[in-house]
């Protein structure tokens, strides 16, 4: 579907990925078009699924969720229903902010936000430990976030 995007569509996507709060008037001025066609293009990009949603990026550390952990998960066995049940169980855990089905030594990669090590330990024992399909876990603790971007090279 990316073939249907022209230069202007790509500019719109790039600018919105940098600041989704930009007004149509500002967006139009930056790409040298009037607001009406820019608005129509944005609506088409939304309808076609190029723009999934608009969000505010919250500083988790300011809200006392400064511990970021990447948790590798290995399932007990590989079965379609077990995989679906695992994903369903993970979707209910508010500490898990991202979940990826991956290849390699592990089956899933979770990004977990916790207040501190004690909170993460309680999460692992009480919440993650209740997910029956998990065979093993491996946690990696983030010491410093050096780059965090949602920009796509357009």
Give me the CATH number covering residue 10.
1.10.10.10
**Does residue 152 have a pLDDT over 90?**
no
Q: Which domain holds residue 85?
A: 60-141
In-domain check, residue 152:
no
Say whether both 64 and 106 belong to one domain: yes
In-domain check, residue 9:
yes
- Kindly state the average pLDDT of the residues 29-57: 95
Cα within 13 Å of Cα(81), Cβ side: 0
Residue-wise pLDDT for 68-103, tens only, equals: 999 999 999 888 889 999 999 999 999 999 999 999
In-domain check, residue 25:
yes
Per-residue pLDDT, 40? 96
Q: What span, in angstroms and rounded, lies between the C-alpha atoms of 88 and 82?
A: 10
Average pLDDT, the chain: 94
Say whether both 70 and 31 belong to one domain: no
CATH code of the domain in which 126 resides: 3.30.70.920
Say whether both 133 and 97 belong to one domain: yes
Smallest CA-to-CA distance from 10 within 51, 54, 52 is with 51
Say whether both 39 and 64 belong to one domain: no
Say whether both 64 and 137 belong to one domain: yes
Say whether both 89 and 112 belong to one domain: yes
What is the number of helices (H) and of strands (E) in the chain?
Answer: 5, 4
In-domain check, residue 147:
no
Per-residue pLDDT, 78? 87
In-domain check, residue 70:
yes
DSSP category for residue 78: -
Per-residue pLDDT, 95? 97
Say whether both 64 and 114 belong to one domain: yes
């Amino acid at each position: 579907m990316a073939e249907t995007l022209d230069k202007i569509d790509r500019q719109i996507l790039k600018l919105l990925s940098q600041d989704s709060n930009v007004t149509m008037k500002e967006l139009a001025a930056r790409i040298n078009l009037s607001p009406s066609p820019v608005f129509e293009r944005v609506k088409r990009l939304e309808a076609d699924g190029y723009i999934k949603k608009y969000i505010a990026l919250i500083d988790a550390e300011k809200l006392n969720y400064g511990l970021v952990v990447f948790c590798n998960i290995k399932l007990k066995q590989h079965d379609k229903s077990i995989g679906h049940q695992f994903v369903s169980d993970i979707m209910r855990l508010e500490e898990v902010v991202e979940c990826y089905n991956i290849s390699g030594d592990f089956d899933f990669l979770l990004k977990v936000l916790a207040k501190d090590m004690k909170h993460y330990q309680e999460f692992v024992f009480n919440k993650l430990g209740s997910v029956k399909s998990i065979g093993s876990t491996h946690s990696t603790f983030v010491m410093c976030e050096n780059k965090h971007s949602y920009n796509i090279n357009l």
